Amino acid sequence: MPHVVEYRRALLSEPERETYLAGDAFAEDWIRQIRADVPDAPILVTAGGLFHYFEENKVVGLLRMLTGFGEIEIVFDTVSKSGMAMMRKKYMKQVGHRDAQMFFYVDSASELTGKIGSGVRVLAEEPYYRHIPRTGLKLSTKISMSVSDRFWMVKMVHLATE
């Protein structure tokens, strides 16, 4: 969404080696644009807080599409099936988005790569809160983070095209 990207630019200017793109994440035009600008450079795509809101076939289709554009790594946050249930039941209500529809989750990054097909591998899959300092946080927050990490309810996934 162009207005979201403009708002982000107003808050955080684009670093020299980053490009904020407004448009449909699931269309090929953005990756074609990048490849036209830097035909042989490795590309890192970050998708924070995005995939939860889309059906699995859309996300898998996007990841499959990226395999055709050279050396690309993608890092994204995701939840497990149990993490999704928790988000729907509790978290989205707390932040005032009880009607938000959420679909995509990943129980296993290696299973996800199997759905994508050949040409992609898992570089990392780790609990979301593992490296976040807990100093100064409320006990309930620390417990929530620990439970989430223990049961892999929220995680970061890092994939690479081959």
**pLDDT band for position 66 (50/70/90)?**
very high
> Please, which residues bridge with residue 127 across strands?
155
Q: What is the DSSP pairing of strand 120-127 with strand 72-79? A: unpaired
**Residue 59 contacts residue 102 (beta carbons within 8 Å):** no
**pLDDT band for position 161 (50/70/90)?**
very high
Sheet holding 43-47, edge to edge: 43-47, 72-79, 154-161, 120-127
pLDDT at 88 over 90: no
List the domain boundaries for the chain.
Answer: 1-41, 44-161
pLDDT per position as a tens digit, 41-52: 999 999 998 999
Please tell me the distance from the alpha carbon of residue 105 to that of residue 99, in angstroms, as a whole number. Answer: 18
H or E element in which residue 112 lies: helix 109-116
pLDDT at 95 over 90: no
Just give the CATH number of 44-161: 3.40.50.150
**pLDDT band for position 97 (50/70/90)?**
low
Residue type, 123: L
Stronger pLDDT, 91 or 29, i.e. the higher one: 29
Stronger pLDDT, 92 or 5, i.e. the higher one: 5
pLDDT at 57 over 80: yes
Residues contacting residue 23 through CB under 8 Å, at least 6 positions apart: 2, 29, 30
Give the pLDDT score at 120. 97
